Amino acid sequence: MTIFNYEKIREWIPYLFRGISTTLLIALVAAIFGLIIGIILVLMSKKRVLRHLSTIYIDIFRGTPLLLQLSIIYYALPQILNAIFNQGLTSDIDFSIPALIAVFIAFSLSSGAYISEIIGSGINSVDKNEIEAAISLGVSKYHVYKDIIIKTAFKNSFPA
């Protein structure tokens, strides 16, 4: 008598490959949109007015469990949108979110908060002497950020 039923295993292989492909798709989408959100948050944290919004966003998304964020986006957000936009309307608009889209949104928002911290640490790791040398040579602030700070920050934070 064999322990494994090879027919059952062969039957489940397509489901396993579909799960792997879905997982890789979620990781890819979360990485791309998380990087975009992270860069925006880092740029927001450089402006005095927007620094508090950036800090609140990062604290919320790093301080709450991902499962809670996913539940809020999938279950609570459609109900909130329905309550806001369907007041006094005769035809109700359904704001339900498909499960995969909710996963993309939750993972991207959470990933953006973590990536912004990684990129922010990379920017803080840039030697101040490099920045001062570029400014003393007459390089504009835009080019200092584009050519020196961002490149060095990405190089320093790439392993993370």
Highest mean pLDDT among 10-14, 25-29, 39-43: 25-29
Dihedral angle, C-alpha 38, 41, 46, 50, nearest 10 °? 180
Residue 34 is part of which domain span? 17-124
Q: Considering the entire predicted model, what is its pTM?
A: 0.81
pLDDT score recorded for residue 90: 60
Which CATH number goes with the domain that contains 74?
1.10.3720.10
Say if 144 falls within a structural domain. Answer: no
pLDDT score recorded for residue 114: 94
Say if 120 falls within a structural domain. Answer: yes
What HEC string does 23-35 produce? HHHHHHHHHHHHH
pLDDT score recorded for residue 47: 86
Are 45 and 51 within 8 A, CB to CB? yes
CA torsion sign, 107 to 113 to 114 to 119? Answer: positive
Q: Residues with Cβ < 8 Å from 39, sequence gap 6 or more?
A: 115, 116, 119
Summarize pLDDT for 67-111 with one digit per residue, the tens: 999 999 999 999 888 888 877 666 677 788 899 999 999 999 999
Say if 55 falls within a structural domain. Answer: yes
Type of residue numbered 59: D
Say if 148 falls within a structural domain. Answer: no
Are 121 and 41 within 8 A, CB to CB? no
Summarize pLDDT for 45-69 with one digit per residue, the tens: 888 889 999 999 999 999 999 999 9
